[in-house]
């Protein structure tokens, strides 16, 4: 749609001055599109169909609004009604309601995300992956994520009203959620701007290739992609896919959850990560150690590649070996990727 339409990777390659033989392709898996691009590039390399690929994603949410595409999933009654479509914020509140997460639970998670992100920025942990934005004169106009709120406290979050209560009541989405999950008597709306991912712009790119091509170009590989997986999950509650995708990717790698040193689980909403921890038994100490999308923002198509870079940077900084990145996805899906530092 708009500036994000067409075949953006080909346009970017031409603009960047790449060889004219460099082709481009655009993929869409909603919030996991950036990670899906990485996985597809890795699959081509593994199959011997590619030697070197730049994979990643981009999203300008300030210029192309969320849901601008007008997709059948949420606009066509013949598709939306049978699948009990509800907006993602209602789905996040539905997770919190079903799992018994309180307002304090999700707010405390958000405060910790902000604290970790602030500490990471102060410690310069993102330096390897941040590329400053410059104007036409070569002057840096943006060198740091703007969404962070380092002073966030439980008290400041308590002043925020739930974001999705009015939508759930007036548009009938709460009723739809209860129709799909009749054991729920009432949706408890606990999510708001402070414990949900930020609406931001962003882009990320990762270079993926064969060992031989790396040697030819004098490049030293930083990590190996061991496995990846995508799964479908129940589309109404929608945001439960990360644990299922992680389980599938780990099985393909011949690993268990305990074999992973660090996790990046996209913080679309606080309840998503709380559910992941509950389902997998992975402690918070291993997850999003430098904060997540609640603090840093979630530029939808870019986030998957962003968290892969964040994960690798932290594995190198901390001297750890294995990592897993995963995201929940609209319409009920999850994608996960397992990497090993070299």
Long-range contacts of 165-169 (CB under 8 A, 24+ apart): 165/189, 167/87, 167/89, 167/90, 168/90, 168/93
Active site residues: 31, 298, 328
Tokens of 305: 């590649």
Beta strand residue intervals within the chain, DSSP E: 52-60, 133-134, 140-142, 201-209, 223-232, 262-265, 322-329, 333-341
Residue linked to tokens 């639970």: 105
Characterize the bridge pairing of strands 223-232 and 333-341.
antiparallel
- 151 C-beta neighbours (distance < 10 Å), count: 9
d(CA 153, CA 157): 6
Tokens of 225: 């992609």
Q: Among 335, 262, 295, which residue's Cα sits nearest to residue 114?
A: 295
DSSP 8-state secondary structure symbol assigned to residue 258:
G
- 242 C-beta neighbours (distance < 10 Å), count: 31
CB-based contacts of 65: which residues, under 8 Å, 6+ apart?
none
**Buried residues in 282-306 as b, exposed as e (16+ CB within 10 A):** beeebbbbbbbbbbbbbbbbbbbbb
């Amino acid at each position: 749609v708009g500036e994000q339409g067409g075949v953006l990777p080909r346009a970017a390659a031409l603009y960047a001055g790449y060889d004219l033989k460099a082709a481009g392709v655009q993929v869409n898996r909603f919030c996991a599109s950036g990670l899906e691009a990485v996985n597809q590039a890795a699959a081509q390399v593994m199959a011997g169909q590619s030697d070197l690929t730049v994979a990643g994603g981009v999203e300008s949410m300030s210029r192309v609004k969320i849901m601008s595409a007008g997709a059948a999933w949420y606009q066509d009654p013949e598709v939306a009604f049978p699948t009990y479509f509800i907006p993602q914020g209602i789905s996040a509140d539905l997770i919190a309601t079903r799992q018994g997460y309180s307002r304090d639970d999700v707010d405390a998670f958000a405060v910790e995300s902000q604290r970790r992100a602030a500490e990471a920025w102060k410690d310069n942990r993102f330096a390897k992956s941040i590329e400053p934005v410059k104007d036409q004169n070569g002057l840096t106009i943006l060198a740091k994520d703007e969404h962070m709120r380092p002073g966030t406290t439980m008290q400041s979050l308590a002043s925020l009203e739930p974001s999705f209560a009015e939508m759930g009541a007036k548009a009938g989405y709460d009723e739809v959620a209860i129709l799909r999950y009749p054991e729920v008597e009432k949706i408890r709306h606990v999510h708001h701007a402070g414990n949900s991912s930020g609406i931001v712009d962003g882009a990320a790119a990762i270079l993926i290739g064969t060992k031989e091509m790396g040697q030819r170009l004098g490049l030293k590989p930083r990590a190996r992609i061991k496995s990846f997986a995508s799964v479908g999950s129940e589309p109404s509650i929608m945001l439960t896919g990360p644990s299922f995708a992680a389980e599938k990717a780990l099985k393909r790698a011949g690993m268990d959850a305990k074999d992973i040193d660090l996790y990046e689980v996209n913080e679309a909403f606080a309840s998503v990560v709380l559910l992941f921890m509950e389902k997998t038994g992975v402690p918070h100490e291993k997850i999003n150690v430098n904060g997540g999308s609640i603090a840093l923002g979630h530029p939808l198509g870019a986030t998957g590649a962003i968290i892969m870079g964040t994960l690798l940077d932290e594995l190198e900084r901390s001297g750890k070996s294995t990592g897993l990145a995963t995201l929940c996805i609209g319409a009920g899906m999850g994608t996960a990727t397992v990497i090993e530092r070299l």
